């Protein structure tokens, strides 16, 4: 979920669930997001950074930085792809690539 305070700056939060065998939520994080719409094209590149906590398997804190691109088909529906690099305090650092749908309420 994301909430934009201004047209270009907002905050987001996400949770990751792979299995519920140990914890209901495997990790949760928060991010500061800056995005810039490219005219009326529907494209909006963005960068973000933040941190969170992993609960499943290894109990650890992490920070992340990333960037991506969103394309809005309409005002309230679009697709996105992004990548982030995650820096952890107990395990090896890693990267994540995501692709998904985005909608507004």
Question: So where are the chain's domains?
Answer: 2-103
Antiparallel, parallel or unpaired: β 94-103 and 77-88: antiparallel
Which pTM value belongs to this model? Answer: 0.87
In three-state secondary structure terms, 57 is coil
Determine the pLDDT at residue 17: 87
pLDDT at 10 exceeding the cut of 90: yes
Determine the pLDDT at residue 56: 79
Q: Compute the CA torsion angle 72, 74, 77, 81 (nearest 10 deg).
A: -10
In three-state secondary structure terms, 11 is strand
């Amino acid at each position: 979920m994301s909430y934009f305070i201004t047209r270009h700056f907002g905050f987001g939060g996400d949770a990751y669930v792979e299995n519920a065998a140990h914890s209901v939520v495997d990790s949760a994080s928060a991010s500061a997001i800056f995005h810039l719409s490219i005219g009326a094209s529907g494209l909006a590149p963005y960068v973000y950074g933040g941190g969170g906590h992993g609960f499943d398997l290894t109990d650890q804190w992490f920070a992340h930085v990333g960037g991506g691109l969103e394309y809005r088909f309409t005002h309230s529906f679009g697709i996105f792809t992004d990548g982030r690099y995650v820096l952890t305090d107990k395990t090896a650092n890693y990267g994540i690539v995501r692709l998904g749908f985005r909608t507004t309420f």
